[in-house]
Structure 1
Amino acid sequence: MFRVLFAIGFRPFYLLASLYAGLAVLLWAHLALGGAGPGGGFNGMSWHSHDMIFGYVTAVIVGFLFTAVRNWTGRKTPDGGALAALVALWLAARLLALTPYAVPAAVVDLLFLPLAAVGVARPIIAAKNWRNLFVIAVLMVLWLCNLLLHGETLWPSVFDGTGQVAKPLAFDVLTLLMAVIGGRVIPFFSANAIPTLKPVRLMPLEVGAIGMLVLAAVLEPFRTLDGVAPILGVIFAVAAALHGVRLLLWKPWQTRPQPLLWMLPVS
């Protein structure tokens, strides 16, 4: 059982992320109805926003990357005992967040993404798979956002207001990751499953659509400066339009006969 479960990254992380999503919703409902909140550094609302990103989403991302990087590089990502240790670290962070021990909870939580990044970086670098180095940067930017959130909670005099930057920046980076990976996976699987489907990829459109999201992430830390927020609004509007065209060129309506396919463009 252990060998099967920890043979590849998506198995334990997808399983635990799914279970945690259901349990976390129950806890959030309890908090929304006036119940006692987590005993750690985060109150009810901040715990909800933090663990939605750095609990649930990071587990899904790491599970995906530990699986995808094997296909990209032909080399192993953490499995067996090493994978089990990372899963235990993630689980410990989730449990410690519900205790009064805020500093240990933050330390354990902040260890997870750098160690996961090492597990992703080693095969990518060994295989010289440079086109996928960006996923390591994504993990480390998410780690920085997590650090800023914990810092604001534990040492507000030093990290005053950093949460206002960390949360939207984390969302920007996650959106960028989904746009890049989705742009690879959705047309590829659709065309493989339906031979008559011919997705269209226009390189100027790809560069523009992804570039808008990169620009938004770069500007996000400066949102509070005069004039930056309206510029970000325009960038996001342009990005939405470009990605809408990008999606239409993949001809998603032709995937209707196969639910396993059409759920990809719908999502």
Structure 2
Amino acid sequence: MARGPLAGLWLAPHRPLFLLAGLWALLVPTVWLLPPGLGPEPLLWHRHELLFGMGGAALGGYLLTAVPAWTAGPRIAPATTKVMVALWLAGRVAFACGAALPLGGLIGAVYFLALAGILSAQVLRAGVWQRLPLALAPLVPGWAQMHDLPGEGIVLFFALLIGLIGGRAIAAFTRHALASHAKAPEVADPPWLAGGATLALVLAMAAQAEAPRLAGPLLIASGLMQLARMVAWRSWRAVGYPALLLLHLAWLWLPVGLVLAGAARLPGTGVAPATALHAITMGAMGSMMLAIMARAGMVRQGTRLLVSPALALGCGLVHLSVLPRLLMGWSGADPVLLRLAALIWMAGWALFLWQFRRALQGPVPRPVLSARSRA
């Protein structure tokens, strides 16, 4: 086996891909701090690279690390991980160089197509058909890159993934964390509630082009049902377990973002579409990705994951960074608020990267994102 300072990096897909997601979250907003005319076109770069770059790396790292648990199969080989990292980097280079569509979009889409191919092959081989929709989910951002689809649809798609993946994870982690408490209430995740929220969001995504006024109430309904899931999860009991609390706090941005997105489609609400989108991207996507990825770098103490002061501050800063950006929806395009949001966000992700360095070397704990470690 190869030795060296980077040998441990390739032992699990989450290590390089979560690292790249964190680095991209830190680097991409610097475009707002540059003098006008210097660097790439800010809005296009910011939107594309945070969705497909940061979001794509985080999605790949999570799914490739989770698939062996779905299938009871072998872990993803280091060589496969290296190929996926190379494809992700190729997409970044193609976009930075301004490769003309469809070539640029195709290069960026290959990463997502390969990710869906690897996942679906393992799922089909193991016969776990219920996991096939998640295995094929990367085809959606891949298709969006190939056809240069509007960013709003991809934002809602990531909201859908947060509801499906994040919701299941939070319910499972909460159930496990509270299981040791004899008097703890039962943690539930009613299928009708989770399914209803998902259905309403899917219908809203389908209706947004032809019937935006119908999409608005559907998004609000989805957001309210996602909020109601927190009651079934007994979210208030997470206060005593910081690693779990980070997930529940991140989840709050999902219903907030969906309700704002719905309100933005209704007349007379005064909610700007950009405000709603940033509640989902910076709020729900940013904080949920951070809360989940950070678990891989947390110190384990028995059956608990410990949140360091640096990580707690980093998560708090990512949450705080959303507020100046939301204020811009009511105060106008204030460059001071924009730069403030970027600086606070970047500081939060820098602290994550400092914490995550401990997860890049040594044996990989199994399962990666849970405190129930086993060799």
What TM-score do the two structures reach when normalised by structure 2? 0.61
Counterpart-to-counterpart distance in 2, 1:147 and 1:197 = 48
Counterpart code for 1:189:
F
2:226 equivalent in structure 1: 243
Counterpart code for 2:114:
L
* Pairwise CA distance, 1:266: 0.7
Matched, 1:21 2:25: yes
1:8 equivalent in structure 2: 12
2:131 equivalent in structure 1: 132
Alpha-carbon displacement from aligned partner over 1:166-211 (angstroms, at most 9, x marks no partner)? 3222112111111011221112111211222521232322221121
1:156 equivalent in structure 2: none
2:177 equivalent in structure 1: 193
Counterpart code for 1:200:
A
Conservation of the 8 A alpha-carbon contact between 1:76 and 1:123: no
Alpha-carbon displacement from aligned partner over 1:139-180 (angstroms, at most 9, x marks no partner)? 11111111221xxxxxxxxxxxxx4xx322211211111101
2:36 equivalent in structure 1: 34
Matched, 1:211 2:199: yes
Counterpart-to-counterpart distance in 2, 1:11 and 1:130 = 27
Alpha-carbon displacement from aligned partner over 1:23-74 (angstroms, at most 9, x marks no partner)? 11213422xx314233xxxx33212111111111011001000011111111
Counterpart-to-counterpart distance in 2, 1:197 and 1:63 = 33
Counterpart code for 2:177:
A
2:144 equivalent in structure 1: 145
Alpha-carbon displacement from aligned partner over 1:109-145 (angstroms, at most 9, x marks no partner)? 1211001111111111111111111113321111111
1:99 equivalent in structure 2: 97
Conservation of the 8 A alpha-carbon contact between 1:190 and 1:197: no
What TM-score do the two structures reach when normalised by structure 1? 0.84
Compare 74-83 and 53-62 and name the one that shifted more: 74-83
Counterpart-to-counterpart distance in 1, 2:32 and 2:119 = 32
Alignment: residue pair count:
241
Counterpart code for 1:205:
L
Percent identity for Structure 1 against Structure 2:
26
Conservation of the 8 A alpha-carbon contact between 1:12 and 1:87: yes
Instruction: Please identify runs of 4+ aligned residues in structure 1 that moved more than 4 A.
Output: none
Please, which runs of 5 or more residues in structure 1 have no aligned partner?
A: 150-162
Conservation of the 8 A alpha-carbon contact between 2:29 and 2:46: no
2:347 equivalent in structure 1: none
Matched, 1:255 2:238: yes
Matched, 1:229 2:227: no
* Pairwise CA distance, 1:2: 4.4
Counterpart-to-counterpart distance in 2, 1:132 and 1:29 = 42
Structure 1 vs Structure 2 CA RMSD: 1.8
Counterpart-to-counterpart distance in 2, 1:9 and 1:167 = 27
Matched, 1:84 2:67: no
Conservation of the 8 A alpha-carbon contact between 1:3 and 1:80: no
Does the C-alpha gap of structure 1 residues 36 and 143 become closer, same or farther in structure 2, counting only changes over 3 Å? same
Counterpart code for 1:210:
T
Counterpart-to-counterpart distance in 2, 1:265 and 1:132 = 24
Please, which runs of 5 or more residues in structure 2 have no aligned partner?
A: 251-375
Alpha-carbon displacement from aligned partner over 1:201-246 (angstroms, at most 9, x marks no partner)? 32322221121122123334xx1x3xx0010001001111111111
